[in-house]
Chain A
Amino acid sequence: MVYSEKVIDHYENPRNVGSLDKDADNVGTGIVGAPECGDVMKLQIQVEDGVIKDAKFKTFGCGSAIASSSLATEWLKGRTIEEATEIRNVDIVEELALPPVKIHCSVLAEDAIKQALADYQKKQEEKS
């Protein structure tokens, strides 16, 4: 696979690798994909005053899956919950110049964002 320099950069220097406390009230976690499909993404956000203060990821998958989730955490940081919902997989495809066979990696990243946001919102509803 011939990748863009941006994919290689995210692969070589992944941003925000790690984990947040999944049990914390202000942390939302999304885990998408399956090992037998060859990719699993875990994406977490930490929210303070409606703003995503921190985002972390861990990904099992090909270079473009790693790059897509790394880029997603970069984009999430500093956004409000509202703004975070606006991230689309096509934006990731464009930014990373993903080849057509790798578009599903960007879809997975969008799904992970949505799941993390939903998890956070569910926790907030349960709290109130």
Chain B
Amino acid sequence: MTHNHPETLVYLDYQATTPVDPQVLDAMLPYYRKHFGNAASRNHAFGWDAEKAVEHAREVLAQGIGTTSRSLVFTSGSTESNNLAILGVARMYQPKGRHLITCATEHKAVLDPMQYLVKEGWELTTLGVNSKGHLDLEELRAAIRDDTVLVSIMHGNNEIGTLHPIAEIGAICREKNVLFHTDATQTLGKEAIDVEAMHIDLLSASAHKLYGPKGCGFLYVRRRNPRVRIEPILHGGGHERGMRSGTLNVPGIVGFGKALELCLQNREEEQRKVAALRDRLQQQLMDKLSHVHINGDPEHRLACNLNLSFEFVEGESMLMGMHGIAVSSGSACTSASLEPSYVLRALGVGDELAHSSIRFSVGRFTTADEIDHAAALTISTVKKLREMSPLYEMAMEGIDLSNVQWSGH
């Protein structure tokens, strides 16, 4: 078995994770070396320094979403935040009812805890989406019942980048008196977030998607109007006001705060730059190749996201040809489950196009040269594979592939 070592490496998988910004790392290092104390040590200077740094970061992060620092609970990342929000609210509000609402395109870290509750007897409404990944707000309104405890709808989608109208969803939930959780993993530091204006009751975020370290996240839990209460899922020292026990990841939290500070310093300008690079890639690919489809909503999507299906070629074989270009595919062959992307399926994208999908995501350190190199390599790979593809041959002969009787296997 062998790994190829291409000469030029281009990272276009910023929605999977981001590199730590050097300024973030610089801010973190003292908290590994000199100020390594436990933020819960109340009786000595090491502890005080650590606590002070944590509280500063908490302040920055809270302000970044329009709230106060006492509303944040630090976690190990968005998967934990989503679990804590969903399981924590469900357990606490069980007397009110046992019904939950979510959307088919949510991350597994939302869908799986919901399914876990279904096994415990909860009822779940999973709202479908249209071909651009949008849910129907009237359908959401109609789905809310007297016994509905929580609505969980993400802000920006990790695969297709579609942005949900969070403020409108928040308003509906507020009007119907039901708690609203949003997974903002893909949008914190990128899209404007204000938990007051948007009526968000719980919000999940993670540092490593915004040039901070891995293993650090937070859950925002609203403290008033209404005061949201959650049952902890980790029990122990009573950290984070009892909502999440466990020694705080002080360097991680410091880095998280610094990372958001950097993002918000020139958020709009950076998003414009990222969108321009994304558009440059999209244009080159769509100009030079036929039968390319955008998955998601070309208008309301994350600036970094480009999810394309290249008809007649399979995603994993594309990745093999695109030496050194780090991207993701919705093809079954690249997933642990051996199923094509459930997100693309929810959009009504056929399985054959899901197998042909590639997600490119650009970020802070992407250059125009890298975009051009990636585009050229993608184009040559698609052309080479289409020459090898029986589907392309049939399509060029004018055969309608949807009318062919396939043998399957």
Contacts and interface: CB of A to CB of B under 8 A. Distances in A.
Interface of A: 1-5, 8, 11, 14, 17, 19, 31-42, 58-63, 65-66, 97, 101, 104, 107-108, 111
Interface residues of B, number: 33
A8 B2 contact: yes
Contacts of A66: 317, 388
B352 A36 contact: yes
Interface string B196-210: 000000000000000
25 contacts: A1-B316, A2-B1, A3-B2, A4-B1, A8-B320, A14-B388, A17-B388, A34-B406, A36-B406, A37-B351, A38-B333, A39-B314, A40-B390, A42-B393, A58-B393, A59-B389, A59-B390, A60-B313, A60-B391, A61-B314, A63-B316, A63-B317, A63-B320, A107-B409, A111-B407
Given A2-B1, A38-B332, A60-B312, A31 B388 contact: no
Given A1-B316, A35-B391, A8 B4 contact: yes
Contact of A33 (B332, B351, B409): B409
Contacts of B389: 58-60
Interface in B331-361: 331-334, 338, 340, 350-352, 355
B341 to A, nearest CB: 12
Given A36-B351, A39-B314, A3 B407 contact: no
B408 interface: yes
Interface string B366-409: 00000000000000000000011111110000000100001111
Interface centre among B321, B351, B392, B406 (most CB of A within 10 A): B406
B3 interface: yes
B292 to A, nearest CB: 16
B375 to A, nearest CB: 21
A11 B317 CA distance: 8
Given A60-B390, A97-B1, 17 more contacts: A4-B1, A11-B320, A17-B388, A31-B407, A32-B407, A33-B406, A35-B352, A35-B355, A35-B406, A38-B332, A40-B406, A60-B313, A60-B389, A60-B392, A62-B314, A107-B409, A111-B407
B354 to A, nearest CB: 9
A35 B409 contact: no
A3 B340 CA distance: 20
B1 A3 contact: yes
Interface of B: 1-4, 312-314, 316-317, 320-321, 331-334, 338, 340, 350-352, 355, 387-393, 401, 406-409
A32 B408 CA distance: 7
A98 to B, nearest CB: 11
Contacts of A35: 351-352, 355, 391, 401, 406
A61 B340 CA distance: 13
A108 B409 contact: yes
B390 A41 contact: yes
A66 B388 CA distance: 9
B349 to A, nearest CB: 11
A39 to B, nearest CB: 7
Contacts of A8: 2, 4, 320
Nearest to B2: A5
Contacts of B391: 35, 40, 60
